[in-house]
Amino acid sequence: MTNRTFTMIKPDATQNGNTGGILEMINAAGFRIVAMKMTHLSETKAGEFYAVHKERPFFGELVTFMSRGAITAVILEKENAVEDFRKLIGATNPAQAEEGTIRKKYATSIGENAVHGSDSDENAAIEGDFFFSKLEQF
Ligand code: ATP
Ligand code: MG
């Protein structure tokens, strides 16, 4: 089991000026940033990142949304990182997200939900390597 997870601050949060606020919540929860970059996903790259959802009815909408503006990709380190980070971000649908979670504070809908969080150690490693070379992971 690793102690790392991967997150993305999504285009809605970037456009709403919430990047700093989200990073502050992440730091306050005890995560250490070990890699970070602001970048942009093309439609092709967004589709590749979320390929697991390609048969879902919302896939087209998801790809359009994720490629419409800048994102910030971040690798985080903390004991029990994957599970603790999923708790910090809250439910996919902000209407169901608990008080004190990032999505409760910053998400606007089930699609535009401010942040991504890896769902397993294996995917955390795959997703981190999608954005960062080994030399960029500290
Ligand atoms: P993420 O993988 O981004 O951390 P998640 O694990 O909470 O989110 P998933 O089921 O993996 O949720 O869905 C991936 C993303 O697809 C969601 O975060 C959201 O942006 C979008 N999405 C999921 N369900 C819907 C839906 N019903 N309608 C529109 N968009 C959706
Ligand atoms: Mg997911």
Q: What pLDDT is recorded for position 126?
A: 98
CA of 29 to the centre of ligand 1 (A): 23
Whether residue 129 is predicted with pLDDT greater than 70 in this model: the reply is yes
Backbone angles phi, psi at 122, to 5 degrees: -65, -50
The gap between the terminal CA atoms of the chain, to the nearest Å, is: 18
pTM of the model: 0.97
- Containing domain of residue 118, as a range? 4-136
**Is the C-beta atom of 117 inside 6 A of ligand 1?**
yes
Backbone angles phi, psi at 64, to 5 degrees: -60, -45
* CATH number for position 96: 3.30.70.141
The more confidently predicted of residues 3 and 2 is 3
Whether residue 13 is predicted with pLDDT greater than 90 in this model: the reply is yes
Q: 7, 50, 62, 102: which to mutate for ligand 1, most atoms within 8 A of CB?
A: 62
Number of domains in the chain: 1
53: annotated active-site residue:
no
Q: How far apart are CA 91 and CA 112, in angstroms?
A: 12
Tell me the two tokens of residue 66.
């994720």
**pLDDT tens digits, 68-98:** 999 999 999 999 999 999 999 999 999 999 9
